[in-house]
């Protein structure tokens, strides 16, 4: 009989209390742990570099263009950095804080080669600054039809045409 009473009492306690959200809190702390660890390492590095340069936190704040309070948070390891804030810090101190590696170096080389090729082509193109439309030779207009609308497609064969945005064309 005591067993049945305890079971009923336990069920009553469970039904009256809302479910705990300790798992959510634990997951949040676990997620924070990673950036807080990195923030602490950056804080130690910043303090070391400030000491080496003979700078105060106020000088760093002026160099970064942020408030002294923000620098105080940085050296305490309380900042969840953005890429922008890390870049500002690196520029102000003159030293890399974080190194981001490329996963596929071959892709980076291909992109770099394409960028160089594009730059070479763009140097040979001229842009025209104009607010009015320029007549273009050899324009072919095709129209695609769907159930809801008609979409014109234009193909240009030109060497010197630009719009208000000054985009190189060719």
Q: What is the pLDDT of residues 30-88, one digit of tens each?
A: 888 888 999 999 999 999 999 999 999 999 999 999 999 999 999 999 999 999 999 99
Distance CA 135, CA 138 (A): 10
Residue entry with tokens 């892709």 = 107
Domain extent, residue 54, equals 24-93
Phi–psi pair at 151, nearest 5 degrees: -120, 115
Q: For residue 120, tell me if it sits in a domain.
A: no
Domain tally, the chain:
2
pTM (predicted TM-score): 0.51
Residue 28, domain CATH: 1.10.260.40
Residues 32 and 88 in one domain: yes
Q: For residue 105, tell me if it sits in a domain.
A: no
Distance CA 159, CA 161 (A): 6
């Amino acid at each position: 009989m005591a067993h049945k009473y305890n079971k009923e009492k336990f069920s009553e306690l469970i039904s009256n209390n809302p479910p705990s959200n300790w798992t959510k809190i634990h997951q949040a702390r676990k997620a924070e742990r990673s950036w807080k660890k990195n923030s602490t390492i950056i804080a130690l590095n910043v303090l070391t570099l400030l000491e080496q340069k003979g700078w105060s936190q106020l000088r760093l704040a002026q160099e970064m263009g942020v408030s002294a309070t923000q620098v105080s948070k940085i050296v305490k390891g309380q900042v969840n950095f953005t890429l922008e804030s890390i870049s500002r810090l690196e520029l102000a101190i003159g030293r890399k804080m974080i190194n981001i590696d490329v996963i596929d170096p071959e892709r980076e080389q291909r992109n770099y080669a394409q960028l160089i090729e594009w730059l070479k082509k763009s140097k040979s193109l001229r842009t025209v600054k104009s607010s009015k439309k320029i007549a273009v030779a050899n324009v072919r207009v095709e129209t695609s039809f769907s159930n809801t609308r008609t979409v014109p497609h234009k193909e240009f064969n030109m060497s010197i045409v630009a719009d208000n945005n000054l985009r190189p064309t060719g």
